[in-house]
Chain A
Amino acid sequence: MAIEEILIPDIGDFDSVEVIEITVSVGDKIEKEDSIITVESDKASMDIPSTQSGVIKEIKISVGDKVKEGSVIGLLDSVEVEKEVVQEEVEVIKEIEKVTLKASKPAPEPPAKILPKKDPIPIGESSVVAGDRSNHASPSIRKFARNLGVNLSFVNGTGQKNRILIHDVEVYVKGELSKPRTENMGAQFAPILMPNIDFSKFGETEEKALSKIKKISGANLHRNWVTAPHVTQFDNADITDLEVFRKSMQKEASQKNTKVTLLAFVIKAIVSALKSYPTFNSSLALDEDTLILKNYFNIGFACDTPDGLVVPVVKDADKKDIIEIANDLSQLSEKARERKLKMSQMEGGCFTISSLGGIGGTMFTPIINCPEVAILGVSRASMQPVHNKESGGFDPRLILPISLSYDHRVVDGADGARFTSHLSMLLSDVNKINI
């Protein structure tokens, strides 16, 4: 045992510091490195640790005293043998273990076997703003955006020199949240991830990029498919008489340098049906609370091009006669194939017709060209035996299969059946179409 003075150690470049707290009292057993007093300079406060272990015998200073390097803090009865110190330290550590060594929950059992992934876990798009963008986000804004999961490349900066402000990020998030639900559904409706399959292990494969039209129409078709609850109504139209009439018109048409197709008559019949059932010529407002009815008759038709599907629109079909419509059809199709359609020739449609009659097939279910509410699919006409009530026998008749997909949020099933019946009746009786 030895009584030792506890001195203020080298505390840096201070003449004197003030004692603001004494954390031990006489009789306390202290360890080396335990803090005994707290001093304060004009810059900071600092705990002064003991340089020895032992028992405090006397404290020679009090709070408020000014001390400096070498000042005596007090007297310590130091523990003499090093070994004892070591033992005591071990004990202290054990005690700490009891108190502080509790993890928030026990460490998980190691799994029997885990299959490591090849690369680091991928995370979402970075919110770092690229150097060539006119907007800039400072580190604190980047952190804020990252916390909300906002990709800053979508955010416009309204601060000085296009700097992105916290407010801009908030406005962006509010905007995203207030977008109509339907829009979100289209983008986020993915119940489970598509499996990632390496097809090349089953045979040879090659990769081909989707055309731009395919990518755009694909995204639209997907949105329309998941947004509008589709119902498809099938029907047949007897177009035997219509065909005879169409062929008889061909002469007149060829004089006017055009060719009258069945599609022209279908368009004319659709206009008539839309007039009888105006809900089919409408769109649902974005708030889904109101229906917007249209008093114009622009009919789109799906057109197959080498790049993919496009939908040119025949404008004001109600004001045009068959020849004029046929003219529009042939011109628009040609332009579509030559990729010369203007934007104005593809917008403003009320209703779309998809005709696969020239190719084949009996029936199909077209996807609605939203925000229109219905689409008509036309398949290939074929000769069918039709029961003749009067003769009791079967007559060969030219039957055209039609399929009407409609948005069930807007159109009821009964109206759907009425619409196709009406259409079928019109196509069967050429006199009823307002040519």
Chain B
Amino acid sequence: MTQLKNIILPDIGDFDSVEVIEIMVSPGDEIKKEDSLITVESDKASMEIPSESEGIVKEIKVKVGDKISQGSTVIILEEKDIQGQENSSLESKPTLTSQSEKNSSSQPLSSNKKSDIECDVAVLGSGPGGYTAAFRAADLGKKVVLIERYSTIGGVCLNVGCIPSKALLHTAKVITDAEDTANHGVSFGSPKIDLEELRSWKTNKVVKKLTMGLAQMAKQRSVEIVEGEGKFLSPNQIIVKLNDGSTKIIGFHSAIIAAGSQPSRIPNTPEDERIMDSTGALELKDIPKKLLIIGGGIIGLEMGTVYEALGSLVTVVELSDGLIQGCDKDIVRPLQRRMEKRFENIWLKTKVTKIETKKEGIVVHFDGADAPKELMFDRVLVSVGRKPNGHKIDVEKAGVNVDEQGFIAANRQMKTNVDHIYAIGDIIGQPMLAHKATHEGKIAAEVIAGEKVEFQAMTIPSVAYTDPEIAWAGVTEEEAKAQNLEIEKSVFPWAASGRAISTNRTEGMTKLIFDKKTQRIIGAGIVGTNAGELIAETVLSIEMGADAHDIGLSIHPHPTLSESVAMAAEIKEGTITDLYIKKR
């Protein structure tokens, strides 16, 4: 009885592939077990591959010059004697090499499916990072497909983040400014708030204007927008589940992952419409009488500012010992003082232990020195950070590594561990800021277009659009201390600024941080009205390597808040005249 058997290349050690340099048998040859069949050559040595059983050579599956690896079929043998050949079978099962076993978690699958659309660059996610990358790539001559799961492009930033929150913060500022004006002779009375009108303005006049503008610019650039949830199918394909239930496969040469992040949730939080994340808070369903904000970061405090101005009694609870972590405490202090006056409570070092939903309200249990055991609120905003969407897009099918939290590592050229797949924005790490994502999006697009660029910026500024605003860039004092940097700082209090006094907002301050050795500015922190606008000058100064004279000797217009930057620089040089500083 005869049986056909595949003779495969056995384990030859730690080689990916070896080259066949000689074939020592021909079809029809009768061979014995251990007879040499072929000779292969690695970069180290050549090696004869013996037959593992005996029989007649039926077919030779390799030729000289072929690259083969462990598991490749070498010849097909007609076995004479199958007794004792327990392992013989028609189907040889190639075993994985040890290397691939180690990485089995991100073993990409191959796909034989044909792509419906082929493009040079597929961008997954249309937030500020994604659309910037798509537009830049298109401008550089690439055929681009932009995949977005929602019906409007723009991502969190435009639809449920930066932009709508700024619209509401503007309204809040008008209300509180009008309130303040009553103290110096002009009263408007208490505001009448038409929530529906406010919502409609935010949605239709602000957000829509921007998203429609984007859609039009995409059209002008021939960037095709595919609406639906995109997931990787293979290293060169993304499958998009369209809203009508059908699917479309996008084949790409390069992909840019810009899938962003979403609000983190507190475990064991009950499902209830009154427990909101930032998206829910921006919907402005009603003005709750009592609002609890869990998390004293930028997002929480901005929403708190809005709701407080609209009339809610706002309580902020924060786990750590200060609001807005990452910013120097002296910069946060004026904001905290104002909030302490306007908000009902600010509880630091306080933990939320339990959230219960009742018909009449949400009962929240606390564990902290200042907080009561429990208290009822009409609504609760959970703003405890954002988590990346790395686990929602099947990146492992493309061989891209994603960590436990959902972050995808990228290098300074935005490349992931897979050469032609890039990642930008929130999904590659902190800080999760739109202006970081747009900068990275341009880099990714330019690298794909063959330009030699990389992320070289020295600083990414942060802004909290609270009232007063807080902004910082470069090295903070706390960071300098932690890194043992030798610094000199100079602080200009806005109490000495004519402009701040004339707007009745003197709580602000401008702080500049200089490297003691090089005398260059390496950081800045500003609190006060329009701090977010003022920080830009310091970012430019840091990038340009300016020193205090460069800033102080540039003439700043008077009277403006921008003068405060120049004044702080003059304090450093001892040339200030708007303040009297006693010589030491």
Contacts and interface: CB of A to CB of B under 8 A. Distances in A.
Interface of A: 33, 49, 96-97, 100-123, 126-128, 131-134, 136-139, 142-143, 146-147, 149, 161, 163, 195
A107 B401 contact: no
Nearest to B517: A132
B157 interface: no
B411 A120 contact: yes
Most B-side CB within 10 Å, residue of A104, A110, A114, A121: A110
Contacts of A163: 545
A107 B114 CA distance: 10
B417 interface: yes
B222 interface: yes
Given A107-B115, A107-B251, A136-B520, A112 B236 contact: no
B108 A120 contact: no
A120 B410 contact: yes
B142 A104 contact: yes
A108 B453 contact: no
Given A107-B115, A119-B409, A143-B453, A132 B251 contact: no
B360 interface: no
Interface string B139-156: 001110000000000000
Contact of B456 (A100, A111, A139): A139
12 contacts: A100-B143, A101-B118, A104-B141, A107-B252, A108-B236, A110-B235, A116-B418, A120-B415, A138-B543, A138-B544, A138-B545, A146-B453
Interface stretch (B98-106, B167-175, B384-392): B98-106
Contacts of B118: 101, 103, 106-107
B545 A146 contact: no
A143 B253 CA distance: 26
A136 B456 CA distance: 13
B236 A115 contact: no
Nearest to A127: B456
B457 A139 contact: yes
A147 B216 contact: no
B38 interface: no
A201 B70 CA distance: 20
B216 A111 contact: no
B543 A112 contact: no
A132 B103 CA distance: 40
A116 B103 contact: yes
A121 B453 contact: no
A158 to B, nearest CB: 14
Q: Which 3 A-B pairs have the closest CB atoms?
A: A107-B251, A136-B545, A110-B234
Interface string B412-423: 110111110000
Contacts of B410: 120
A139 B417 contact: no
Contact of A115 (B99, B143, B456): B99
Contacts, number: 141
Secondary structure at the A interface, as helix, strand, loop or mixed, is loop
Given A49-B216, A123-B413, A139-B456, A107 B236 contact: yes
B454 A115 contact: no
Nearest to B236: A110
Given A116-B106, A119-B409, A103 B120 contact: yes
B515 A114 contact: no
Contacts of A97: 117
A146 B452 contact: yes
B417 A119 contact: yes
B553 interface: no
Contacts of A103: 118-120, 143, 251, 253
Nearest to B485: A131
B453 A147 contact: yes
A126 B457 CA distance: 11
Given A123-B413, A132-B518, A100 B235 contact: no
Contacts of B110: 110-113
Contact of A131 (B107, B115, B235, B518): B518
B566 interface: no
Given A108-B236, A147-B452, 14 more contacts: A104-B120, A106-B118, A107-B251, A110-B110, A110-B234, A116-B106, A116-B401, A116-B418, A119-B417, A121-B419, A123-B413, A128-B456, A131-B515, A163-B545
Secondary structure at the B interface, as helix, strand, loop or mixed, is loop
B53 interface: no
Contact of A118 (B115, B417, B518): B417
A120 B143 contact: no
Contacts of B120: 103-104
Contacts of A105: 253
B143 A101 contact: yes
A133 B454 CA distance: 21
B143 A123 contact: no
Given A103-B119, A111-B110, A116 B545 contact: no
Contact of B416 (A113, A120, A142, A146): A120
B224 interface: yes
A134 B515 CA distance: 11
B11 to A, nearest CB: 15
A277 B454 CA distance: 57
Contacts of A133: 518
B508 interface: no
A103 B417 CA distance: 24
Interface in B221-259: 222, 224, 234-237, 251-253
Contacts of A122: 411
A357 to B, nearest CB: 37
Given A102-B143, A120-B415, A108 B103 contact: no
Contact of A116 (B252, B399, B518): B399
B564 to A, nearest CB: 24
Contacts of A147: 451-453
A133 B458 CA distance: 14
Contacts of B108: 113-114, 116
A139 B415 CA distance: 21
Given A110-B236, A118-B401, A149-B452, A128 B419 contact: no
Contacts of B235: 110-111, 114
Most B-side CB within 10 Å, residue of A104, A107, A108, A119: A107
Contact of B454 (A101, A123, A134): A123
B417 A101 contact: no
B400 interface: yes
A126 B456 contact: yes
A120 B417 contact: yes
Contacts of A123: 411-413, 415, 454
Nearest to A110: B234
B517 A146 contact: no
A134 B545 CA distance: 10
Nearest to B215: A33
B236 A121 contact: no
Contacts of A137: 545
A57 B458 CA distance: 58
Nearest to A157: B545
Nearest to A120: B411
A146 B399 contact: no
A106 B520 CA distance: 51
A164 to B, nearest CB: 9
A248 B522 CA distance: 75
B456 A120 contact: no
A122 B115 CA distance: 31
B571 to A, nearest CB: 20
Contact of A100 (B43, B99, B222, B453): B222
B95 interface: no
B522 A131 contact: yes
B277 interface: no
Given A114-B108, A122-B411, A138-B543, A104 B143 contact: yes
B452 A161 contact: no
A138 B485 CA distance: 21
Contacts of B237: 107, 110
A175 B315 CA distance: 65
A199 B405 CA distance: 33
Contacts of B515: 131-132
